[in-house]
């Protein structure tokens, strides 16, 4: 292995600097959580202030010493310039406050210490990202790295959402209330499990909730959920590599392999442009979707900030196929609004198509524009993957909507007086078609609903169809879960090839490799096993009918978020099972098995073949 070109003293100084900043950042993060995360600080305020002042002072002295002792002052100023500017601004603030009024210096000092603490926390998070980049260069399997990062994000999010300050006063009162059949400790334990359940659901872009996102979490808790959704939707590896791209650094071979494994890219050299494309499409789509939703929320909420936050939250949740809504009844009360069908539904479809298909469509659009303008250049044609994804997606949406409309039209007839007017059975023809179309789209891992889907509001056939759509999910390398549309299409093509007495799967003049068919079969079998095991676990640990628990298990494994209303009634063991199911469904059973199995080299031998009777 080639020796590093960085001198040993500089490497030691860089390592010492990172360790120091990480320790100080961790201390600042813990002290801020202990001071502001509870109604009354867990530790005496004097102790917390002393820790904060010590961390800020040590940070300032460390930065100054690094600049003073650096071999190249110019390089050190360029590397730590913005930190020196913040330190100098703080000193000027002290001087200005001291000259104005002696009593205000304490307030200025508190503000400055808090600001530097926030900066330390940001440095701590950047340090975590750098650790991720360094780990991606080592001999760590990409699947293991992605698994570790998701666990880290869920752990941080769960700790933040478990803080009392993340809850509304009413939710805090319920948490501290002691019932006759349980102790205060068990109630707090259930709250902590609920916080980690919410963090897992948000990071895994599922949408199943045991807390009401609108009524139980305050704005701080809602912002934490929003950040977790965005991180989980894009994928931790994209954000990690984004820092390197924005810093002008080339992606290493190992980082590119991690991204290639996560986003199914075929060419390693295209990963840098792929990262830029993913980030651009994500934030551009969410921005446009939020702008379309804003007038609707502005008409329901006064001011500017509340409608803007509502619009951004629902746009991000829709594009990331998360299903979280700042409304207790999801989107049921918005079923007649145009923003649901012009913003939420298109965002779900775009986010579920997958970035490889979106990038291929964009390249073909640019090629078509060049041809229309008379420029000469290569003519693009849609890749086989894109064609399969588009056709399968359209068939699932149209077919699912048609069967939902049919099942809710010819389903069991009940008196009109007992039918919920918001349910599909109580709607007119046009409204039922519209609702069926939206539910067909959202069932494939988005998790929103514009109609009630509890046991009494939807027919058994409709629930069975929704479970099929949830099991399939979205497309590869997308924000969606499930077995993916490509896996379903490849297996169907293989069945068609077998019926035609062909020993391979073919489509559009192309042959699908046998390895792809085998991988699709393994994914379907593992996902089916995951749903079965999750259902059995729920049947043992929580009360409910088989229909309700199977629907809940399929929703969790497919990272959908639709529920018949049983999620809030789950016991603590059942919540733990659902958390594991959401985690496995987001990463994919195959990815988790590969991560646990390790990087064993392929066998260099094969046993003799022998026929096995099938059918």
Residue 20 lies in a domain: yes
The residue with tokens 């149209």 is 398
pTM equals 0.79
Q: Facing residues of 507 across strands?
A: 510
pLDDT at 605: 72
Residue 30 lies in a domain: yes
Range of the domain at 41: 1-136
Report the pLDDT averaged over residues 286-304. Answer: 89
Alpha carbon distance 463, 400 (integer Å)? 12
What rounded mean pLDDT belongs to the chain?
77
Alpha carbon distance 330, 213 (integer Å)? 10
What tens digit of pLDDT does each residue of 140-191 get?
Answer: 555 666 777 788 888 888 888 888 888 888 877 776 665 555 555 567 778 8
Q: Is the pLDDT of residue 216 over 60?
A: yes
Residue 446 lies in a domain: no
Q: Which of 512, 478, 531 has the alpha carbon at shortest distance from 350?
A: 478
Residue 86 lies in a domain: yes
For 490, residues 6+ apart whose C-beta sits below 8 A from its C-beta are 388, 505, 512, 516, 517, 520
As for how many domains the chain has, the answer is: 1
Residue 24 lies in a domain: yes
Residue 42 lies in a domain: yes
Q: Is the pLDDT of residue 1 over 50?
A: no
Residue 31 lies in a domain: yes
Output DSSP code: residue 376.
Answer: -
469 pLDDT tier (thresholds 50, 70, 90): very high
Q: Are 507 and 387 in contact (CB under 8 A)?
A: yes
Distance, CA of 216 to chain centre: 21
Q: Is the pLDDT of residue 134 over 60?
A: no
């Amino acid at each position: 292995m080639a020796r590093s070109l960085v001198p040993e003293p500089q490497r030691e100084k860089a390592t010492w600097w990172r360790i120091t900043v990480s320790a100080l950042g961790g201390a600042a993060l813990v002290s801020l959580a202990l001071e502001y995360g509870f109604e009354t600080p867990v530790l005496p305020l004097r102790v917390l202030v002393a820790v904060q002042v010590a961390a800020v002072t040590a940070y300032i002295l460390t930065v100054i010493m690094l600049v003073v002792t650096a071999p190249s002052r110019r390089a050190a100023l360029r590397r730590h310039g913005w930190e020196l500017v913040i330190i100098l601004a703080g000193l000027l603030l002290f001087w200005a406050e001291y000259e104005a009024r002696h009593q205000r210096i304490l307030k200025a000092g508190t503000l400055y210490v808090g600001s530097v603490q926030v900066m330390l926390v940001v440095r701590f998070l950047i340090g975590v990202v750098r650790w991720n980049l360094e780990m991606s260069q080592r001999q760590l399997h990409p699947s293991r790295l992605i698994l570790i990062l998701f666990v880290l994000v869920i752990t941080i999010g769960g700790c933040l959402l478990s803080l009392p300050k993340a809850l509304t006063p009413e939710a805090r009162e319920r948490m501290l209330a002691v019932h006759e059949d349980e102790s205060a400790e068990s109630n707090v334990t259930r709250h902590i499990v609920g916080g980690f359940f919410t963090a897992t659901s948000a990071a895994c872009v599922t949408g199943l909730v045991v807390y009401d996102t609108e009524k139980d979490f305050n704005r701080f808790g809602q912002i934490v959920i929003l950040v977790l959704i965005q991180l989980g939707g894009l994928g931790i590896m994209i954000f990690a590599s984004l820092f390197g791209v924005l810093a002008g650094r080339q992606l290493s071979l190992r980082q590119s392999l991690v991204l290639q494994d996560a986003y199914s890219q075929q060419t390693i050299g295209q990963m840098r442009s792929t990262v830029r494309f993913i980030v651009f499409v994500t934030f551009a789509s969410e921005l446009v979707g939020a702008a379309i939703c804003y007038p609707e929320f502005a008409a329901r909420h006064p001011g500017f900030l509340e409608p803007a936050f509502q619009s951004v939250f629902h746009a991000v949740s829709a594009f990331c196929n998360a299903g979280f809504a700042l409304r207790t009844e999801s989107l049921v009360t918005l079923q007649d609004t145009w923003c649901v069908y012009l913003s939420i539904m298109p965002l779900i479809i775009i986010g579920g198509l997958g970035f490889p298909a979106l990038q291929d469509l964009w390249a073909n659009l640019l090629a078509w524009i060049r041809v229309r303008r008379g420029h000469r250049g290569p003519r693009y044609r849609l890749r086989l993957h894109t064609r399969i994804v588009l056709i399968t997606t359209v068939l699932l949406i149209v077919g699912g909507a048609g069967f939902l409309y049919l099942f809710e039209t010819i389903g069991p007839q009940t008196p009109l007086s007992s039918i919920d007017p918001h349910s599909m059975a109580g709607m007119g023809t046009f409204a039922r078609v519209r609702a069926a179309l939206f539910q067909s789209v959202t069932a494939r891992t988005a998790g929103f609903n514009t109609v009630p889907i509890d046991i009494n509001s939807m027919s058994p056939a409709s629930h069975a169809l929704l479970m099929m759509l949830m099991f399939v999910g979205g497309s590869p390398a997308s924000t969606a879960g499930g077995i993916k549309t490509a896996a379903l299409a490849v297996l169907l093509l293989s069945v068609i090839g077998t019926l035609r007495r062909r020993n391979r799967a073919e489509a559009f003049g192309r042959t699908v490799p046998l390895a792809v068919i085998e991988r699709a079969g393994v994914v379907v079998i593992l996902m089916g096993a995951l749903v079965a095991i999750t259902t059995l676990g729920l049947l043992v640990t929580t009360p409910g009918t088989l229909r309700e628990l199977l629907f809940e298990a399929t929703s969790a494994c497919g990272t959908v978020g639709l529920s018949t209303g049983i999620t809030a009634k789950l016991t603590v063991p059942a919540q733990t099972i659902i958390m594991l199911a959401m985690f496995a469904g987001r990463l994919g059973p195959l990815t988790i098995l590969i991560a646990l199995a390790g990087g064993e080299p392929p066998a260099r031998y094969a046993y003799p073949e022998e026929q096995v009777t099938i059918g």
